[in-house]
Structure 1
Amino acid sequence: MFTDAHFDSFKNDGCVVIPGFLSAEEVAALRKRTAELLDSFDPESQPKTTFSTGIRDKHIGDRYFLDSSDKVSYFLEEQAVVDGRLAVDKTRAINKIGHGLHIREPLFAKLSHSNKVRQVAQRLGYDDPRILQSMVICKQPSIGGEVPLHQDSCFLYTRPLSACGFWFALEDCTLANGCLEFIPGSHLETPISKRFFVPIEPEFSLFPPTKDNNKTPIPEQKPVGAECKPIEVKAGSVVLIHGQVLHRSSHNHSDKSRWIYTFHIIEGGYEYDDRNWLQMPADRELTKL
Protein backbone atom coordinates (compact mmCIF):
# COMPACT_ATOMS: atom_id res chain seq x y z
CA MET A 1 0.00 0.00 0.00
CA PHE A 2 3.03 2.28 0.49
CA THR A 3 4.31 2.94 -3.02
CA ASP A 4 7.44 4.63 -4.30
CA ALA A 5 5.28 7.68 -5.08
CA HIS A 6 4.11 7.80 -1.45
CA PHE A 7 7.70 7.55 -0.26
CA ASP A 8 8.85 10.36 -2.55
CA SER A 9 5.99 12.61 -1.44
CA PHE A 10 6.79 11.96 2.21
CA LYS A 11 10.49 12.65 1.66
CA ASN A 12 9.88 15.87 -0.28
CA ASP A 13 6.80 17.29 1.46
CA GLY A 14 7.00 15.90 4.99
CA CYS A 15 3.42 14.54 4.90
CA VAL A 16 1.72 11.99 2.69
CA VAL A 17 -1.79 10.54 2.54
CA ILE A 18 -2.47 6.86 1.86
CA PRO A 19 -6.21 6.60 1.09
CA GLY A 20 -8.06 3.43 2.02
CA PHE A 21 -5.39 2.23 4.45
CA LEU A 22 -8.18 1.00 6.75
CA SER A 23 -11.11 -1.02 5.49
CA ALA A 24 -14.67 0.11 6.16
CA GLU A 25 -14.96 -2.75 8.67
CA GLU A 26 -11.83 -1.62 10.53
CA VAL A 27 -13.09 1.95 10.68
CA ALA A 28 -16.48 0.83 11.96
CA ALA A 29 -14.93 -1.35 14.67
CA LEU A 30 -12.59 1.40 15.86
CA ARG A 31 -15.43 3.92 15.89
CA LYS A 32 -17.61 1.52 17.88
CA ARG A 33 -14.88 1.03 20.48
CA THR A 34 -14.25 4.77 20.65
CA ALA A 35 -17.97 5.38 21.31
CA GLU A 36 -17.85 2.75 24.09
CA LEU A 37 -14.85 4.46 25.67
CA LEU A 38 -16.57 7.83 25.53
CA ASP A 39 -19.70 6.36 27.10
CA SER A 40 -17.69 4.71 29.90
CA PHE A 41 -16.06 7.98 30.96
CA ASP A 42 -17.08 8.83 34.52
CA PRO A 43 -16.48 12.55 35.14
CA GLU A 44 -17.06 12.11 38.86
CA SER A 45 -14.32 9.52 39.38
CA GLN A 46 -11.60 11.06 37.21
CA PRO A 47 -9.92 14.47 37.24
CA LYS A 48 -11.38 17.03 34.86
CA THR A 49 -8.08 17.60 33.10
CA THR A 50 -8.38 19.82 30.04
CA PHE A 51 -5.88 19.65 27.21
CA SER A 52 -4.25 22.49 25.30
CA THR A 53 -1.38 22.29 22.83
CA GLY A 54 1.10 25.12 22.60
CA ILE A 55 0.67 26.69 26.03
CA ARG A 56 3.94 26.72 27.93
CA ASP A 57 3.96 24.62 31.08
CA LYS A 58 0.23 23.86 30.71
CA HIS A 59 0.65 20.21 31.74
CA ILE A 60 3.96 20.25 33.61
CA GLY A 61 3.22 18.96 37.09
CA ASP A 62 -0.14 17.49 36.09
CA ARG A 63 0.44 13.94 37.33
CA TYR A 64 -2.64 12.53 35.57
CA PHE A 65 -1.22 13.75 32.25
CA LEU A 66 2.39 12.76 32.93
CA ASP A 67 1.43 9.25 34.06
CA SER A 68 -0.71 8.50 30.99
CA SER A 69 1.93 6.90 28.76
CA ASP A 70 0.64 3.33 29.28
CA LYS A 71 -2.95 4.07 30.32
CA VAL A 72 -6.37 4.90 28.94
CA SER A 73 -6.76 8.47 30.21
CA TYR A 74 -9.36 11.10 29.35
CA PHE A 75 -8.63 14.75 28.59
CA LEU A 76 -11.36 17.35 28.13
CA GLU A 77 -11.86 20.18 25.68
CA GLU A 78 -11.19 23.48 27.40
CA GLN A 79 -14.62 24.84 26.51
CA ALA A 80 -16.29 21.72 27.91
CA VAL A 81 -15.56 22.73 31.52
CA VAL A 82 -17.10 25.78 33.17
CA ASP A 83 -16.50 26.47 36.86
CA GLY A 84 -15.24 22.94 37.36
CA ARG A 85 -18.33 21.28 35.86
CA LEU A 86 -19.06 19.80 32.46
CA ALA A 87 -20.96 22.24 30.27
CA VAL A 88 -21.81 19.60 27.63
CA ASP A 89 -22.70 15.91 27.60
CA LYS A 90 -19.74 13.79 28.69
CA THR A 91 -19.49 12.07 25.29
CA ARG A 92 -19.12 15.49 23.64
CA ALA A 93 -16.65 16.81 26.20
CA ILE A 94 -13.58 14.66 25.51
CA ASN A 95 -10.68 16.19 23.58
CA LYS A 96 -8.71 12.94 23.49
CA ILE A 97 -8.33 9.49 25.02
CA GLY A 98 -4.74 8.32 25.46
CA HIS A 99 -1.80 7.77 25.59
CA GLY A 100 -1.49 3.98 25.88
CA LEU A 101 -4.27 2.69 23.64
CA HIS A 102 -1.73 0.56 21.76
CA ILE A 103 -1.05 -1.20 25.08
CA ARG A 104 -4.43 -1.34 26.80
CA GLU A 105 -6.99 -1.52 23.99
CA PRO A 106 -6.92 -4.69 21.82
CA LEU A 107 -8.46 -3.18 18.67
CA PHE A 108 -6.09 -0.23 18.67
CA ALA A 109 -3.15 -2.51 19.52
CA LYS A 110 -4.06 -4.77 16.58
CA LEU A 111 -3.94 -1.85 14.14
CA SER A 112 -0.78 -0.39 15.67
CA HIS A 113 1.04 -3.73 15.34
CA SER A 114 -0.45 -4.70 11.98
CA ASN A 115 1.70 -5.95 9.13
CA LYS A 116 0.74 -2.97 6.99
CA VAL A 117 2.02 -0.55 9.64
CA ARG A 118 5.23 -2.60 9.99
CA GLN A 119 5.72 -2.52 6.23
CA VAL A 120 5.46 1.28 6.16
CA ALA A 121 7.94 1.60 9.03
CA GLN A 122 10.38 -0.71 7.28
CA ARG A 123 10.00 1.18 4.02
CA LEU A 124 10.78 4.40 5.85
CA GLY A 125 14.05 2.89 7.08
CA TYR A 126 13.35 2.05 10.71
CA ASP A 127 15.39 -0.85 12.12
CA ASP A 128 13.74 -1.09 15.56
CA PRO A 129 10.57 1.02 15.50
CA ARG A 130 8.93 1.72 18.86
CA ILE A 131 5.33 2.89 19.35
CA LEU A 132 4.40 5.67 21.76
CA GLN A 133 1.77 8.34 22.43
CA SER A 134 -1.25 6.53 21.01
CA MET A 135 -4.58 8.33 21.33
CA VAL A 136 -7.97 9.02 19.85
CA ILE A 137 -8.50 12.72 19.23
CA CYS A 138 -12.19 13.62 18.99
CA LYS A 139 -12.11 17.32 17.89
CA GLN A 140 -15.63 17.81 19.21
CA PRO A 141 -18.30 19.75 17.30
CA SER A 142 -18.26 23.50 17.94
CA ILE A 143 -15.73 23.30 20.80
CA GLY A 144 -12.90 21.20 19.31
CA GLY A 145 -9.80 23.26 20.09
CA GLU A 146 -7.13 24.63 17.77
CA VAL A 147 -3.71 22.97 17.68
CA PRO A 148 -1.11 25.61 16.77
CA LEU A 149 1.82 25.13 14.39
CA HIS A 150 4.36 22.71 15.86
CA GLN A 151 6.93 19.96 15.17
CA ASP A 152 6.47 16.57 16.83
CA SER A 153 10.19 15.99 17.35
CA CYS A 154 10.24 18.88 19.86
CA PHE A 155 8.10 16.71 22.16
CA LEU A 156 9.33 13.22 21.18
CA TYR A 157 13.00 14.04 20.93
CA THR A 158 15.61 11.42 20.08
CA ARG A 159 19.29 11.61 19.17
CA PRO A 160 19.36 11.55 16.15
CA LEU A 161 15.84 12.79 15.42
CA SER A 162 13.48 10.00 14.37
CA ALA A 163 9.82 10.71 15.21
CA CYS A 164 7.12 9.95 12.67
CA GLY A 165 3.36 10.17 13.21
CA PHE A 166 0.71 7.76 11.91
CA TRP A 167 -2.63 9.61 11.80
CA PHE A 168 -5.72 7.50 10.94
CA ALA A 169 -8.98 9.20 9.95
CA LEU A 170 -11.97 7.52 11.62
CA GLU A 171 -14.29 10.15 10.11
CA ASP A 172 -14.04 12.38 7.07
CA CYS A 173 -11.67 15.24 7.92
CA THR A 174 -12.36 18.61 6.28
CA LEU A 175 -11.40 22.23 6.67
CA ALA A 176 -14.77 22.79 8.34
CA ASN A 177 -14.17 20.30 11.16
CA GLY A 178 -10.47 20.99 11.70
CA CYS A 179 -8.44 18.76 9.36
CA LEU A 180 -4.66 18.63 9.47
CA GLU A 181 -2.74 21.44 7.77
CA PHE A 182 1.01 21.52 7.10
CA ILE A 183 3.74 23.55 5.41
CA PRO A 184 5.07 21.35 2.58
CA GLY A 185 8.84 20.89 2.70
CA SER A 186 9.22 22.61 6.07
CA HIS A 187 10.98 19.51 7.46
CA LEU A 188 13.81 20.22 5.01
CA GLU A 189 14.44 23.77 6.18
CA THR A 190 13.23 24.01 9.79
CA PRO A 191 15.59 22.54 12.40
CA ILE A 192 14.41 21.43 15.81
CA SER A 193 15.36 24.37 18.01
CA LYS A 194 13.59 23.50 21.26
CA ARG A 195 12.77 20.52 23.41
CA PHE A 196 9.23 20.93 24.66
CA PHE A 197 9.43 24.70 25.29
CA VAL A 198 13.13 24.88 26.21
CA PRO A 199 15.44 26.38 23.52
CA ILE A 200 18.31 24.19 22.32
CA GLU A 201 21.01 24.46 19.71
CA PRO A 202 19.32 23.79 16.34
CA GLU A 203 19.39 20.15 15.28
CA PHE A 204 18.45 18.68 11.94
CA SER A 205 18.06 15.28 10.36
CA LEU A 206 16.78 13.99 7.05
CA PHE A 207 15.60 10.82 8.77
CA PRO A 208 14.24 9.01 6.89
CA PRO A 209 15.98 7.88 4.75
CA THR A 210 19.37 9.43 5.60
CA LYS A 211 20.94 7.83 8.66
CA ASP A 212 24.37 9.43 8.51
CA ASN A 213 22.99 12.33 10.53
CA ASN A 214 26.34 13.69 11.65
CA LYS A 215 26.99 14.69 8.05
CA THR A 216 23.56 16.22 7.48
CA PRO A 217 24.06 19.99 7.21
CA ILE A 218 21.82 22.22 9.31
CA PRO A 219 19.94 24.58 7.00
CA GLU A 220 19.78 28.28 7.58
CA GLN A 221 16.77 28.98 9.76
CA LYS A 222 14.09 30.87 7.88
CA PRO A 223 11.09 32.73 9.20
CA VAL A 224 7.92 30.68 8.96
CA GLY A 225 5.85 32.55 6.44
CA ALA A 226 4.61 29.90 4.04
CA GLU A 227 0.92 29.10 3.95
CA CYS A 228 -0.32 25.83 5.34
CA LYS A 229 -1.82 23.27 3.00
CA PRO A 230 -4.97 21.52 4.27
CA ILE A 231 -5.10 17.73 4.23
CA GLU A 232 -8.74 16.83 3.68
CA VAL A 233 -9.14 13.04 3.80
CA LYS A 234 -11.83 10.40 3.86
CA ALA A 235 -12.34 8.00 6.76
CA GLY A 236 -9.92 5.08 6.43
CA SER A 237 -7.02 7.20 5.19
CA VAL A 238 -3.71 7.41 7.03
CA VAL A 239 -1.51 10.50 7.03
CA LEU A 240 2.21 10.07 7.73
CA ILE A 241 3.74 13.09 9.47
CA HIS A 242 7.50 13.69 9.54
CA GLY A 243 8.70 14.71 13.01
CA GLN A 244 10.20 17.96 11.73
CA VAL A 245 7.38 19.12 9.47
CA LEU A 246 5.39 22.12 10.69
CA HIS A 247 1.71 21.24 11.04
CA ARG A 248 -1.44 22.32 12.85
CA SER A 249 -5.23 22.01 12.91
CA SER A 250 -7.89 24.67 13.31
CA HIS A 251 -10.76 24.98 15.78
CA ASN A 252 -13.77 22.87 14.86
CA HIS A 253 -16.61 25.34 14.40
CA SER A 254 -18.80 22.83 12.56
CA ASP A 255 -21.55 20.56 13.86
CA LYS A 256 -19.53 17.45 12.97
CA SER A 257 -16.83 15.77 15.05
CA ARG A 258 -13.43 14.77 13.68
CA TRP A 259 -12.39 11.46 15.21
CA ILE A 260 -8.91 10.19 14.45
CA TYR A 261 -6.54 7.62 15.95
CA THR A 262 -2.86 8.46 16.04
CA PHE A 263 0.44 7.22 17.40
CA HIS A 264 4.11 7.95 16.78
CA ILE A 265 7.09 5.75 16.17
CA ILE A 266 10.73 6.45 16.92
CA GLU A 267 13.93 4.48 16.25
CA GLY A 268 14.47 2.18 19.23
CA GLY A 269 18.24 2.20 18.86
CA TYR A 270 18.42 5.95 19.33
CA GLU A 271 18.66 7.77 22.64
CA TYR A 272 15.20 8.77 23.92
CA ASP A 273 15.51 12.00 25.88
CA ASP A 274 14.62 11.71 29.57
CA ARG A 275 13.27 15.26 29.39
CA ASN A 276 10.49 14.30 26.98
CA TRP A 277 7.13 14.65 28.71
CA LEU A 278 6.15 11.09 27.84
CA GLN A 279 8.08 8.58 29.93
CA MET A 280 7.24 4.93 30.44
CA PRO A 281 7.03 3.44 33.96
CA ALA A 282 10.33 2.10 35.25
CA ASP A 283 9.28 -1.52 34.64
CA ARG A 284 8.13 -1.01 31.03
CA GLU A 285 10.08 -0.14 27.88
CA LEU A 286 8.78 1.65 24.81
CA THR A 287 6.62 -0.78 22.85
CA LYS A 288 8.30 -2.65 20.00
CA LEU A 289 6.41 -2.44 16.74
Structure 2
Amino acid sequence: MVNSDFVQQFNENGYAVIPNFLSDEEIVEMKKTMARIVDEMDPKEHSSHIFHLDDKTCKSRDEYFLTSNDKIRFFFEPKAVDQDGNLTVPKSRSVNKIGHALAWLEPVFKKITFGEKVKDVCRQLGHKDPRVVQSMYIFKNPVIGQKVSTHQDSTFLYTDPPSNLLGFWFALDDAAVENGCLYFLPGTQNVNPTSRFVRTPNPGTTGDLTMIRGVEPDYPLDQFKPAPVSKGSLVLIHGNVIHRSEDNTSDLPRHAYTFHVVDHHNAQYSKENWLQPSEALPFPKLYDVKV
Protein backbone atom coordinates (compact mmCIF):
# COMPACT_ATOMS: atom_id res chain seq x y z
CA MET A 1 0.00 0.00 0.00
CA VAL A 2 1.21 3.50 -0.89
CA ASN A 3 1.81 5.79 2.09
CA SER A 4 -1.14 8.19 2.36
CA ASP A 5 0.97 11.32 2.98
CA PHE A 6 0.38 12.42 -0.62
CA VAL A 7 -3.38 12.86 -0.19
CA GLN A 8 -3.18 16.06 1.87
CA GLN A 9 -0.51 17.49 -0.41
CA PHE A 10 -2.66 16.74 -3.45
CA ASN A 11 -5.81 18.25 -1.95
CA GLU A 12 -3.99 21.43 -0.89
CA ASN A 13 -1.82 22.05 -3.95
CA GLY A 14 -3.49 20.21 -6.83
CA TYR A 15 -0.40 18.06 -7.29
CA ALA A 16 1.67 15.70 -5.17
CA VAL A 17 5.01 13.92 -5.42
CA ILE A 18 5.43 10.30 -4.35
CA PRO A 19 9.18 9.48 -4.39
CA ASN A 20 10.54 6.03 -5.33
CA PHE A 21 7.27 4.86 -6.84
CA LEU A 22 9.13 2.98 -9.59
CA SER A 23 12.07 0.69 -9.01
CA ASP A 24 15.32 0.99 -10.95
CA GLU A 25 14.47 -2.30 -12.66
CA GLU A 26 11.09 -0.98 -13.83
CA ILE A 27 12.70 2.18 -15.18
CA VAL A 28 15.33 0.20 -17.10
CA GLU A 29 12.63 -2.06 -18.54
CA MET A 30 10.50 0.88 -19.69
CA LYS A 31 13.47 2.64 -21.29
CA LYS A 32 14.60 -0.54 -23.06
CA THR A 33 11.13 -1.07 -24.44
CA MET A 34 10.93 2.49 -25.70
CA ALA A 35 14.39 2.28 -27.29
CA ARG A 36 13.20 -0.81 -29.18
CA ILE A 37 10.02 0.92 -30.34
CA VAL A 38 11.97 3.92 -31.65
CA ASP A 39 14.58 1.69 -33.28
CA GLU A 40 11.88 -0.25 -35.15
CA MET A 41 10.10 2.94 -36.28
CA ASP A 42 10.59 4.14 -39.86
CA PRO A 43 10.82 7.96 -39.73
CA LYS A 44 9.65 8.24 -43.34
CA GLU A 45 6.25 6.93 -42.28
CA HIS A 46 5.80 9.30 -39.35
CA SER A 47 8.10 12.36 -39.49
CA SER A 48 5.47 14.64 -41.04
CA HIS A 49 3.71 14.62 -37.67
CA ILE A 50 5.31 17.40 -35.66
CA PHE A 51 4.12 18.04 -32.14
CA HIS A 52 3.65 21.77 -31.54
CA LEU A 53 2.98 23.10 -28.08
CA ASP A 54 4.35 26.63 -28.29
CA ASP A 55 1.13 27.55 -30.07
CA LYS A 56 -1.76 25.27 -29.22
CA THR A 57 -3.61 26.17 -32.41
CA CYS A 58 -0.77 24.49 -34.33
CA LYS A 59 -1.17 21.21 -32.53
CA SER A 60 -1.53 18.22 -34.85
CA ARG A 61 -4.91 18.38 -36.55
CA ASP A 62 -4.93 15.31 -38.76
CA GLU A 63 -6.53 11.89 -38.50
CA TYR A 64 -3.21 10.40 -37.45
CA PHE A 65 -3.48 12.37 -34.22
CA LEU A 66 -7.24 12.08 -33.72
CA THR A 67 -7.35 8.30 -34.19
CA SER A 68 -4.46 7.52 -31.82
CA ASN A 69 -6.66 6.30 -28.97
CA ASP A 70 -6.07 2.64 -29.81
CA LYS A 71 -2.68 2.92 -31.54
CA ILE A 72 0.96 3.80 -30.92
CA ARG A 73 1.75 6.97 -32.82
CA PHE A 74 4.92 9.07 -33.14
CA PHE A 75 5.15 12.86 -32.81
CA PHE A 76 8.44 14.60 -33.58
CA GLU A 77 10.26 17.62 -32.21
CA PRO A 78 9.99 20.68 -34.48
CA LYS A 79 13.78 21.11 -34.38
CA ALA A 80 14.36 17.48 -35.39
CA VAL A 81 12.74 17.56 -38.84
CA ASP A 82 13.42 19.77 -41.86
CA GLN A 83 10.78 21.09 -44.26
CA ASP A 84 11.06 17.94 -46.38
CA GLY A 85 10.43 15.59 -43.47
CA ASN A 86 14.07 14.51 -43.11
CA LEU A 87 15.56 14.10 -39.66
CA THR A 88 18.18 16.64 -38.65
CA VAL A 89 19.23 14.74 -35.50
CA PRO A 90 19.75 11.04 -34.73
CA LYS A 91 16.48 9.10 -34.75
CA SER A 92 16.91 8.20 -31.08
CA ARG A 93 16.68 11.90 -30.17
CA SER A 94 14.10 13.06 -32.72
CA VAL A 95 10.79 12.14 -31.10
CA ASN A 96 8.86 14.48 -28.81
CA LYS A 97 6.37 11.88 -27.59
CA ILE A 98 4.79 8.54 -28.40
CA GLY A 99 1.13 7.86 -27.61
CA HIS A 100 -1.66 7.27 -26.94
CA ALA A 101 -2.33 3.57 -26.27
CA LEU A 102 1.01 2.51 -24.77
CA ALA A 103 -0.74 1.48 -21.57
CA TRP A 104 -2.82 -1.06 -23.44
CA LEU A 105 -0.61 -2.28 -26.29
CA GLU A 106 2.82 -2.56 -24.64
CA PRO A 107 3.01 -5.07 -21.73
CA VAL A 108 5.73 -3.18 -19.82
CA PHE A 109 3.62 -0.02 -19.67
CA LYS A 110 0.41 -1.95 -19.09
CA LYS A 111 1.97 -3.60 -16.04
CA ILE A 112 2.77 -0.21 -14.51
CA THR A 113 -0.50 1.49 -15.47
CA PHE A 114 -2.81 -1.21 -14.19
CA GLY A 115 -0.63 -2.26 -11.26
CA GLU A 116 -1.88 -2.48 -7.69
CA LYS A 117 0.06 0.61 -6.55
CA VAL A 118 -1.67 2.80 -9.13
CA LYS A 119 -5.04 1.36 -8.15
CA ASP A 120 -4.23 2.05 -4.50
CA VAL A 121 -3.47 5.70 -5.27
CA CYS A 122 -6.82 6.10 -7.02
CA ARG A 123 -8.68 4.46 -4.16
CA GLN A 124 -7.00 6.71 -1.60
CA LEU A 125 -8.09 9.73 -3.65
CA GLY A 126 -11.66 8.42 -3.62
CA HIS A 127 -12.00 7.40 -7.26
CA LYS A 128 -14.89 4.97 -7.75
CA ASP A 129 -14.63 4.11 -11.46
CA PRO A 130 -11.32 5.38 -12.92
CA ARG A 131 -10.75 4.63 -16.60
CA VAL A 132 -7.53 5.13 -18.55
CA VAL A 133 -8.08 7.57 -21.42
CA GLN A 134 -4.58 8.08 -22.81
CA SER A 135 -0.95 7.18 -22.18
CA MET A 136 2.26 8.72 -23.51
CA TYR A 137 6.01 8.49 -23.35
CA ILE A 138 7.54 11.98 -23.32
CA PHE A 139 11.22 12.28 -24.28
CA LYS A 140 12.19 15.92 -23.59
CA ASN A 141 15.47 15.13 -25.32
CA PRO A 142 18.68 17.06 -24.59
CA VAL A 143 19.13 20.44 -26.34
CA ILE A 144 15.97 20.21 -28.51
CA GLY A 145 13.30 19.14 -26.00
CA GLN A 146 10.65 21.85 -26.36
CA LYS A 147 8.79 23.57 -23.56
CA VAL A 148 5.19 22.84 -22.68
CA SER A 149 3.30 26.10 -22.40
CA THR A 150 1.06 27.01 -19.48
CA HIS A 151 -2.05 24.82 -19.51
CA GLN A 152 -4.58 22.72 -17.64
CA ASP A 153 -4.98 19.09 -18.65
CA SER A 154 -8.77 19.50 -18.42
CA THR A 155 -8.58 21.88 -21.39
CA PHE A 156 -7.72 18.86 -23.53
CA LEU A 157 -9.51 16.02 -21.71
CA TYR A 158 -12.58 17.80 -20.38
CA THR A 159 -14.95 16.07 -17.98
CA ASP A 160 -18.12 17.32 -16.37
CA PRO A 161 -17.33 18.11 -13.61
CA PRO A 162 -13.70 18.98 -14.50
CA SER A 163 -12.42 17.74 -11.12
CA ASN A 164 -12.68 14.11 -12.26
CA LEU A 165 -9.48 14.08 -14.36
CA LEU A 166 -6.22 12.84 -12.82
CA GLY A 167 -2.77 12.67 -14.41
CA PHE A 168 -0.01 10.22 -13.45
CA TRP A 169 3.48 11.47 -14.43
CA PHE A 170 6.45 9.17 -13.81
CA ALA A 171 10.00 10.56 -13.91
CA LEU A 172 12.28 8.10 -15.72
CA ASP A 173 15.23 10.48 -15.28
CA ASP A 174 16.03 13.03 -12.63
CA ALA A 175 13.92 16.06 -13.56
CA ALA A 176 15.56 19.32 -12.54
CA VAL A 177 15.22 22.98 -13.49
CA GLU A 178 18.15 22.53 -15.90
CA ASN A 179 16.52 19.82 -18.01
CA GLY A 180 12.88 20.94 -17.96
CA CYS A 181 11.12 19.84 -14.79
CA LEU A 182 7.45 20.61 -14.19
CA TYR A 183 6.30 23.96 -12.76
CA PHE A 184 2.97 24.44 -10.97
CA LEU A 185 0.68 27.17 -9.69
CA PRO A 186 -0.19 25.52 -6.36
CA GLY A 187 -3.83 25.64 -5.35
CA THR A 188 -5.27 26.22 -8.82
CA GLN A 189 -7.06 22.88 -8.88
CA ASN A 190 -10.26 24.83 -8.14
CA VAL A 191 -9.89 26.97 -11.27
CA ASN A 192 -12.11 25.54 -13.99
CA PRO A 193 -10.73 25.76 -17.54
CA THR A 194 -11.69 28.81 -19.59
CA SER A 195 -10.62 27.24 -22.87
CA ARG A 196 -11.21 23.89 -24.54
CA PHE A 197 -9.25 22.00 -27.19
CA VAL A 198 -12.02 20.23 -29.15
CA ARG A 199 -12.83 18.61 -32.44
CA THR A 200 -14.13 21.15 -34.93
CA PRO A 201 -17.90 20.60 -35.29
CA ASN A 202 -17.86 21.52 -38.97
CA PRO A 203 -14.34 21.52 -40.43
CA GLY A 204 -15.52 21.94 -43.99
CA THR A 205 -14.78 25.64 -44.31
CA THR A 206 -11.25 25.67 -42.89
CA GLY A 207 -10.22 22.03 -42.99
CA ASP A 208 -9.04 22.28 -39.39
CA LEU A 209 -10.09 19.16 -37.48
CA THR A 210 -9.46 20.75 -34.06
CA MET A 211 -9.96 24.16 -32.55
CA ILE A 212 -9.44 26.14 -29.36
CA ARG A 213 -12.68 27.43 -27.87
CA GLY A 214 -12.34 30.23 -25.35
CA VAL A 215 -9.29 32.09 -24.11
CA GLU A 216 -6.73 31.03 -21.53
CA PRO A 217 -5.57 33.78 -19.16
CA ASP A 218 -1.93 34.79 -18.92
CA TYR A 219 -0.29 33.81 -15.65
CA PRO A 220 2.92 35.53 -14.46
CA LEU A 221 5.78 33.05 -14.75
CA ASP A 222 7.28 34.16 -11.45
CA GLN A 223 4.25 32.75 -9.63
CA PHE A 224 5.03 29.18 -10.70
CA LYS A 225 6.78 26.81 -8.34
CA PRO A 226 9.31 24.35 -9.78
CA ALA A 227 8.81 20.69 -8.90
CA PRO A 228 12.17 18.95 -9.38
CA VAL A 229 11.96 15.22 -8.70
CA SER A 230 14.32 12.27 -8.71
CA LYS A 231 13.90 9.41 -11.17
CA GLY A 232 11.30 6.87 -10.10
CA SER A 233 9.07 9.56 -8.59
CA LEU A 234 5.38 9.78 -9.38
CA VAL A 235 3.83 13.23 -9.77
CA LEU A 236 0.05 13.29 -9.45
CA ILE A 237 -1.57 16.14 -11.39
CA HIS A 238 -5.14 17.34 -10.84
CA GLY A 239 -6.86 17.98 -14.16
CA ASN A 240 -7.38 21.65 -13.34
CA VAL A 241 -4.04 22.58 -11.78
CA ILE A 242 -2.12 25.06 -13.92
CA HIS A 243 1.35 23.87 -14.92
CA ARG A 244 4.07 24.08 -17.54
CA SER A 245 7.68 23.12 -18.27
CA GLU A 246 10.61 24.84 -19.95
CA ASP A 247 12.82 23.79 -22.88
CA ASN A 248 15.50 21.22 -22.16
CA THR A 249 18.61 23.11 -23.21
CA SER A 250 20.91 20.89 -21.14
CA ASP A 251 22.78 17.79 -22.24
CA LEU A 252 20.69 15.62 -19.87
CA PRO A 253 17.60 13.64 -20.90
CA ARG A 254 14.27 14.04 -19.12
CA HIS A 255 12.18 11.04 -20.09
CA ALA A 256 8.76 10.55 -18.51
CA TYR A 257 5.83 8.18 -18.79
CA THR A 258 2.39 9.65 -18.24
CA PHE A 259 -1.24 8.65 -18.46
CA HIS A 260 -4.61 10.09 -17.46
CA VAL A 261 -7.60 8.55 -15.76
CA VAL A 262 -11.15 9.85 -15.62
CA ASP A 263 -13.38 8.84 -12.73
CA HIS A 264 -16.60 8.02 -14.54
CA HIS A 265 -18.53 7.88 -11.27
CA ASN A 266 -20.99 10.79 -11.50
CA ALA A 267 -18.95 12.36 -14.30
CA GLN A 268 -19.20 12.61 -18.07
CA TYR A 269 -16.27 12.56 -20.50
CA SER A 270 -16.96 15.17 -23.16
CA LYS A 271 -17.82 13.94 -26.65
CA GLU A 272 -16.24 17.15 -27.97
CA ASN A 273 -12.74 16.21 -26.77
CA TRP A 274 -10.11 15.58 -29.43
CA LEU A 275 -9.47 12.07 -28.02
CA GLN A 276 -12.39 9.65 -28.10
CA PRO A 277 -12.76 5.96 -27.24
CA SER A 278 -13.02 3.57 -30.15
CA GLU A 279 -14.79 0.30 -30.72
CA ALA A 280 -11.39 -1.41 -30.69
CA LEU A 281 -10.46 0.19 -27.37
CA PRO A 282 -13.09 1.67 -25.08
CA PHE A 283 -11.48 3.43 -22.14
CA PRO A 284 -10.45 0.45 -19.97
CA LYS A 285 -11.66 0.34 -16.35
CA LEU A 286 -8.60 0.57 -14.15
CA TYR A 287 -9.88 -1.63 -11.32
CA ASP A 288 -11.07 -4.40 -13.65
CA VAL A 289 -7.80 -5.01 -15.54
CA LYS A 290 -5.53 -7.66 -14.05
CA VAL A 291 -1.80 -7.69 -14.84
Q: Same fold (TM over 0.5)?
A: yes
For residue 251 of structure 1, give the secondary structure of its aligned residue in structure 2: coil
Alignment match of 1:178 (pick from 180, 183, 206): 180
Find the aligned partners of 1:140 and 1:160 in 2 and give their Cα distance.
Answer: 35
Paired residues for 1:273-288 under 5 Å: 273-288=270-285
For residue 192 of structure 1, give the secondary structure of its aligned residue in structure 2: coil
- Structure-2 residue corresponding to 1:256: 252
Deviation for aligned residue 1:60 = 5.6
Deviation for aligned residue 1:155 = 0.7
The answer to whether the 8 A contact 1:41-1:90 is kept is: no
**For residue 182 of structure 1, what is the amino acid of its counterpart?**
F
Find the aligned partners of 2:27 and 2:283 in 1 and give their Cα distance.
Answer: 26
When residues 223 and 259 of structure 1 are mapped into structure 2, their CA distance, relative to the original with a 3 A threshold, is closer
For residue 44 of structure 1, give the secondary structure of its aligned residue in structure 2: helix
Find the aligned partners of 1:59 and 1:121 in 2 and give their Cα distance.
Answer: 30
Find the aligned partners of 2:63 and 2:241 in 1 and give their Cα distance.
Answer: 29
Identity %: 42
The answer to whether the 8 A contact 2:4-2:124 is kept is: no
* 1:116-156, Cα deviation, whole Å (9 max, x unpaired): 00010111111100012201000011000010110001111
Find the aligned partners of 1:286 and 1:55 in 2 and give their Cα distance.
Answer: 28
For residue 170 of structure 2, give the secondary structure of its aligned residue in structure 1: strand
**For residue 247 of structure 1, what is the amino acid of its counterpart?**
H
- Structure-2 residue corresponding to 1:72: 72
Structure 1 residue runs without a partner (length 5+): 203-221
For residue 183 of structure 2, give the secondary structure of its aligned residue in structure 1: strand
Larger mean CA deviation between 191-200 and 143-152 belongs to 191-200
Paired residues for 1:79-90 under 5 Å: 79-84=79-84, 85-90=86-91
Q: How many residues align?
A: 268
Find the aligned partners of 1:136 and 1:43 in 2 and give their Cα distance.
Answer: 17
Structure 2 residue runs without a partner (length 5+): 198-211, 287-291
* 1:52-86, Cα deviation, whole Å (9 max, x unpaired): 12524324631111111111111000100112211
- Structure-2 residue corresponding to 1:108: 109
Deviation for aligned residue 1:283 = 4.4
For residue 178 of structure 2, give the secondary structure of its aligned residue in structure 1: coil
When residues 127 and 233 of structure 1 are mapped into structure 2, their CA distance, relative to the original with a 3 A threshold, is same
Tell me the TM-score normalised to structure 2 length: 0.87
* 1:215-255, Cα deviation, whole Å (9 max, x unpaired): xxxxxxx9734611111111110000011100001000001
Tell me the TM-score normalised to structure 1 length: 0.88
**For residue 198 of structure 1, what is the amino acid of its counterpart?**
R
* 1:74-104, Cα deviation, whole Å (9 max, x unpaired): 1000100112211001111000011100111
Alignment match of 2:219 (pick from 219, 224, 229): 224
The answer to whether the 8 A contact 1:131-1:264 is kept is: yes
For residue 34 of structure 1, give the secondary structure of its aligned residue in structure 2: helix
Find the aligned partners of 2:173 and 2:44 in 1 and give their Cα distance.
Answer: 29
Find the aligned partners of 2:99 and 2:281 in 1 and give their Cα distance.
Answer: 17
Pick the structure with more helix per residue. 2
For residue 261 of structure 2, give the secondary structure of its aligned residue in structure 1: strand
